[in-house]
Structure 1
Amino acid sequence: MRRHQKPPSTPSLLTRRSVRLGLFAAGVASVATAAPAQASTHATASGVAIAQDHTFTHADPLHHTQVKDTFTVQQFGSVKSADVRNQANAVSVGCSADAHCRSVALSFQIVTMANVRTHLNAVNVSDAANQSCTGCQTLAGAYQFIVSTSKPFTLDQNAQRRLTLIHQRLDALTRSTVPAADLKRQVDALAAEVTGVLHNAAATAPQAGAQPVVTMHRHLDGWPAH
């Protein structure tokens, strides 16, 4: 099968961009439940935190529409080091212009941690691929939010409620038939709301000299490109 290539001006390396700072389950036309969920997360007794999230969808002539989103919240408390990875992959294969495919994979990962000297390795990556798929819409979006504070804190009920409402809207948007270009803009708007909620929540965290920091990593890849 032939994979469509992006224009030469867009290096293929960017489709698998990872963000590193010193700080395939198949989609089956399903979405995550509309509440912030815990993902593959653990912190060892030695203070090492690990979080991994991966959302994958695969559309083909037997399953023309495959959509899935995940929205996870991991609150680690004090850690010495953290290794967090967030990934979204969407594939459309073998559909035609008369019966095109739609494959959407979106992953929102929220991580909170405390310790101003934490060694953090954060990776956020997405990839969307059309393989011999004419007129298909394929979108993969990875959004990673990292809250770093000097002392441990937990998201209060108001913040959790607002995040749950955003997740519900993300679910509805994922299931919608909004064109890929519009879908990107609307998902970006939801990500901006998440950032606002986290900024407000972090402002209430106990402080010990260092101000709380909220960082958002975003990577979107999709067909059509515009």
Structure 2
Amino acid sequence: MDVIGDLVARERRVKEPLVYGDGSQPYTAHKFCTDAWKTASLFRYHGVGPERAVAVAVDPAPQSLLSVFGAALLGAPVRFGLPPEGDPRVVVGPATEIEGLSVEPGTKRVIYGDEPSEPDVIHFERDIWSENPTMPPDTVATDQSALITANRTYTHEDLLTAAERVVDQRALTEDDAVAVRASLARPGTLVAGVFAPLQVGASVLLAENGPEPTLVVGGEGPSGLDPDDVLD
């Protein structure tokens, strides 16, 4: 795999279930990949693209991950944490963090979960429902920016190479389940808790439900992994 969007390519839509959130039904691989494509289509309409970023709330929810992949498919970087820094085209999060948030005139606010009470706020689930369920045709380079933090900007290659190391060091397979128990604001959490398991088709556990985890990002003991040890 060369870029992050390869993790949600058409041929990846095979595992059921794949991503567990705090909802009653986990995401199948088919739904997760398709919704990532739809998210990209929604973001494109609102101006997201290379050098035009997406800001995402630090919330371990499937919609946060879909926002990461939607941006990556368009060659756009993401930054976790609200209020947003810089000049993102879109900010995404739950209503408690988005409504009332002051943004620049060219920035769109997107809420997932609850319906927005403000007319100029986009509702994630409602708006991606009608989007085109086709993988975007955009060409993304391995050296394009994918994740921005206060200290560094990571490329697609940086993140996927680190994810491959996690897969090799922990011998991850499609039979594993990886729990995310550390903040997504720490880059190693996204790499080890999301990108690494998706490389091999393992399950991603964002909440306490789902199968017993074999790797816990942010956990202790033999199954634990400190996300700060993941990236160089």
Q: TM-score, normalised by structure 1?
A: 0.26
More strand by share: 1
- Normalized per residue, the structure richer in helix is 2
Look at both structures and tell me which one has the larger radius of gyration over its CA atoms.
Answer: 1
